[in-house]
């Protein structure tokens, strides 16, 4: 790779950061059960420790997304201890994620629950989550709702939409000036007849109803098979409403697989749309990149390192797209030339340039090898495995 292209890769890596999820280091599973790992984290401190290892090896993930129910059992009172632990392990608290799906009271929904008492409890939980974010100086509060129904006629869909608009607006009113509300969507599961926020259009409308500090959060797994996610990204960028991502990969639907393990070209195309938007507008897209994956069989820390390094590679490849040539080819239109602009960049091998960037930053040139040689995994496996149980965090 010539010096000009290497410089583009380095500049790209300097700006790229991706947030780790605390819940991705704990024992997780499907609705059928869990496969326990002796090295899985059982406490928030252990999750932050593991996240610190991933950041030390990759240099790309200084923040950790936190889940209120699992990481703040005592609510805002836990914020100082979490802040202190994060600092000790070289990371910073990131997005705060309310839990509006696990408690038995949410059997028939949270903001969409027909019981006003439950709706109010869900709202209070969100208020508490905003306060936790405030104390930790976290910008984003990420909202995912399992609300929906499984049978026709069992829910007033229009009324539930109105409740969502009302309650999201109420949460928005509690935000500080620098905070954001990120509204996520999911087409199905656990609701299989209708989901209250089932697609990006519904999330967009509800975010706009909530207020100017609300944006849409795109989970790459939360789409039907073969859906054109990069088109959704392009539309949200053009509307100024793309707030962030939860990254994972999928073979069918919300499979929570390691990023790029099934379709790395799709992730590349998503990053490309963001880069193209920035090139055309001259604006820097303010987007929060976060990993959201469930590693039931792979080692959790190793799977995170895999994802981060893959994300770095794919983001760096988009720096090699010749956007001037692409724009001219699109105007002609020269279809082959335009398509080749993307294919040539995707085919480029950026791994050598990334290793050089790591060395210049005094990071391990091979992140996975460095972790495997560190002895950290063996140590925590022995320590945590001795407990007889490696944690009880849930995952959705």
> 132 with 79: CB under 8 angstroms?
yes
Summarize pLDDT for 316-349 with one digit per residue, the tens. 999 999 999 999 999 999 999 999 999 999 999 9
| Position 290 in a domain | yes
Summarize pLDDT for 272-281 with one digit per residue, the tens. 999 999 999 9
Euclidean distance between CA atoms 317 and 77, whole angstroms: 43
Residues 6+ apart with CB under 8 A from 31: none
Residue 295 confidence (pLDDT): 85
Cis peptide before 226 (omega within 30 of 0): no
Summarize pLDDT for 82-126 with one digit per residue, the tens. 999 999 999 999 999 999 999 999 999 999 999 999 999 999 999
Please compute the mean of the pLDDT values over residues 154-173 and round it to a whole number: 98
Confidence of residue 388 (pLDDT cuts 50, 70, 90): low
| Position 120 in a domain | yes
Count the domains in the chain. 1
> 47 with 390: CB under 8 angstroms?
no
Residue 286 sits at φ, ψ, to 5 deg, of: -90, 85
Euclidean distance between CA atoms 306 and 236, whole angstroms: 28
* Domain housing 128: 16-314
| Position 357 in a domain | no
What are the Cα distances from residue 334, in Å, to 79, 265, 275, 322, 348? 55, 21, 21, 14, 22
| Position 46 in a domain | yes
The pairing of beta strand 92-97 with beta strand 33-34: unpaired
| Position 111 in a domain | yes
Q: Which of 386, 394, 222, 377 is nearest to 296 (CA)?
A: 394
Q: Which residue has the tokens 């993930």?
A: 61
| Position 384 in a domain | no
Euclidean distance between CA atoms 347 and 98, whole angstroms: 40
Give percent of the chain above pLDDT 70. 97
The one-character DSSP state at 284 is P
Cα 118 from chain centroid?
27
- Give the global pTM: 0.95
Euclidean distance between CA atoms 90 and 51, whole angstroms: 9
Check which CATH number belongs to the domain holding 87 and give it: 3.20.20.150
Residues 6+ apart with CB under 8 A from 126: 98, 100, 141, 143, 167, 171
| Position 345 in a domain | no
Q: H helices of the chain, where?
A: 3-15, 44-58, 68-71, 79-88, 116-136, 157-172, 200-210, 229-238, 264-281, 300-318, 323-331, 335-347, 351-360, 367-374, 376-385
The one-character DSSP state at 114 is S
Residue 28 confidence (pLDDT): 82
| Position 339 in a domain | no
Summarize pLDDT for 8-43 with one digit per residue, the tens. 999 999 999 999 999 999 998 776 778 899 999 999
Structure tokens at 125: 């939980």
Structure tokens at 157: 């869909």
Summarize pLDDT for 345-373 with one digit per residue, the tens. 999 999 999 999 999 999 999 999 999 99
């Amino acid at each position: 790779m010539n010096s000009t292209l290497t410089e583009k890769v380095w500049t790209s890596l300097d700006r790229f950061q991706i947030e780790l999820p605390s819940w991705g280091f704990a024992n997780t599973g499907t609705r059928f059960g869990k496969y326990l790992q002796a090295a899985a984290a059982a406490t928030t401190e252990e999750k932050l420790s593991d996240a610190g290892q991933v950041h030390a090896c990759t240099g790309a993930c200084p923040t950790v997304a936190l889940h209120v129910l699992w990481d703040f059992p005592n609510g805002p009172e836990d914020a100082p201890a979490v802040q202190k632990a994060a600092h000790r392990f070289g990371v910073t608290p990131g997005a705060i994620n309310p839990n509006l799906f696990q408690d038995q009271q949410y059997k028939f929904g949270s903001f969409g629950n027909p019981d006003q008492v439950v709706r109010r409890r869900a709202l209070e939980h969100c208020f508490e989550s905003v306060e936790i974010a405030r104390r930790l100086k976290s910008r984003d509060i990420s909202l995912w709702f399992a609300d929906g129904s499984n049978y026709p006629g069992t829910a007033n869909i229009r009324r539930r939409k109105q409740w969502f608009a009302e309650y999201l607006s109420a949460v928005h009113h509690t935000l500080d000036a620098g905070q954001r509300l990120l509204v996520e969507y999911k087409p199905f599961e656990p609701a299989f007849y209708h989901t209250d926020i089932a697609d990006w259009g519904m999330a967009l409308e509800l975010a706009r109803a909530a207020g100017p500090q609300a944006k849409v959060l795109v989970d790459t797994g939360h789409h039907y098979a073969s859906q054109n996610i990069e088109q959704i990204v392009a539309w949200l960028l053009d509307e100024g409403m793309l707030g962030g991502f939860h990254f994972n990969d999928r073979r069918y639907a919300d499979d929570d697989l390691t990023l790029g393990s099934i379709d790395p070209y799709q992730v590349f195309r998503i990053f490309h749309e963001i880069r193209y938007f920035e090139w055309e507008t001259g604006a820097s897209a303010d987007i929060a990149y976060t990993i959201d994956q469930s590693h039931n069989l792979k080692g959790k820390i190793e799977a995170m390192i895999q994802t981060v390094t893959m994300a770095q590679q794919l983001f760096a490849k988009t720096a090699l797209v010749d956007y001037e040539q692409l724009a001219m080819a699109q105007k002609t239109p020269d279809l082959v030339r335009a398509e080749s602009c993307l294919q040539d960049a995707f085919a480029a091998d950026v791994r050598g340039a990334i290793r050089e960037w790591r060395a210049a930053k005094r990071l391990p040139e091979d992140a996975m090898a460095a972790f495997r040689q560190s002895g950290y995994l063996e140590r925590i496996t022995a320590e945590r495995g001795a407990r007889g149980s490696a944690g009880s965090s849930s995952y959705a």
